[in-house]
Amino acid sequence: MSSERLAGLLDEYAQLEKRLADPAIHADQATARRVGRRYAELVPLHKAADELEQARADLAAARELAAEDPSFAGEAESIAESLPVLEERLAELLIPRDPHDAKDVIVEIKAGEGGEESALFAGDLLRMYTRYAERHGWVTEVIDAQDSDLGGVKDVSLSIKTKGVPEGGNGVWSRLKWEGGVHRVQRVPVTESQGRIHTSAAGVLVLPEAEDVDVTIDQNDLRIDVFRSSGPGGQSVNTTDSAVRITHLPTGIVVSCQNEKSQLQNREQAMRILRARLLAAAQEQADAAASDARKAQVRTVDRSERIRTYNFPQNRITDHRIGYTAYNLDLALGGELDGVLDALTEADRAARLAGDTELTRR
């Protein structure tokens, strides 16, 4: 256990506590929320350190009393037995955590191989994440979507946010960061007349939503084009050039949005996605510098590049990264994802304790 690191984090906790006690900070809600999130991340560490310090003090007192009265020997022994558990808990909390764990996310789902069936499956994934968010009291918002002819989605960007400051600093990212990759489905498509099982896939990209302080964007680096929306008809849709496409020239990243009625609203939504992608790209570069073995979440939306398989005939869900299998696919698609997400979280925890900084992705 690094006493220097512990002292530094406890000092940071004390400074954040002082900042939050100052009414002036709440004049800037974005700053207050950011400080509150970091404070919430450090609360478990502060509590564990306090419990360990108190236990050590109690042990010293019990041993001192036992020297005069043997009846205190049992209490001293009991306290001594509890120390390794408290020390292990504190050591675990001192392991560097994912810096984005407290953040909200943008989930992008793209249909891949499989044509209309893939778009229908992408729509199933969208509903799955939306229902999971509802179960946790999170707020969802479809930023942009391109629907398919049969009611699926070709491409959708979904914002998922916590309400207020997440407890323990465990925001949406801490749960859904495992979902990035290719998801494969095996079932009889509605378009199949002979009852044959088909395999198709959809790609999921999970991005921590960036704040203005996370990413600096020079407006001179942007090319902004406007065009006519291509979605279903409606007031102002398909009649005005309200859709917006933004190209970040230094990186070549392109985002577009056409869901909103006004060009200004579409531009704001597109900028949210662009900030998230730039933050993810910067993080990926930093991770790649530290580990050449790091793999991107989505390389190609191909049936073979899968992290998870959803088998409808067997009502089975399988996560290939950790060998997890459960026969509750219907419940998972209804938003009950905690089983597989808990297993992924535990696998990551075990890897970090063993000194591996990243969960094996395949």
* Digit-coded pLDDT (tens) for 333-356: 999 999 999 999 999 888 887 776
Residue 300 has pLDDT above 50, yes or no: no
Give the pairing type, strands 316-319 and 222-227. Answer: unpaired
Tens digits of per-residue pLDDT, 62-77? 999 988 888 888 899 9
Tens digits of per-residue pLDDT, 144-173? 898 888 889 999 999 999 988 788 888 999
Residue 292 has pLDDT above 80, yes or no: no
Average pLDDT over residues 174-178: 94
Q: What pLDDT score was predicted for residue 135? A: 95
Which position has the token pair 């997400």? 341
Per DSSP, 114 falls in state T
Which position has the token pair 């407890």? 167
- Give me the amino acid identity at 284: E
Q: What pLDDT score was predicted for residue 358? A: 57
Question: Is 0.75 topped by the overall pTM?
Answer: yes
Q: What pLDDT score was predicted for residue 236? A: 43
Residue 283 vs residue 140, higher pLDDT = 140
Q: What pLDDT score was predicted for residue 284? A: 79
Tens digits of per-residue pLDDT, 101-133? 989 999 999 998 768 899 999 999 999 999 999
Which position has the token pair 């398909």? 238
- Give me the amino acid identity at 72: F
pLDDT band at 293 (very low <50, low <70, confident <90, very high): very low
Tokens, residue 328: 């509750």
Q: What pLDDT score was predicted for residue 288? A: 66
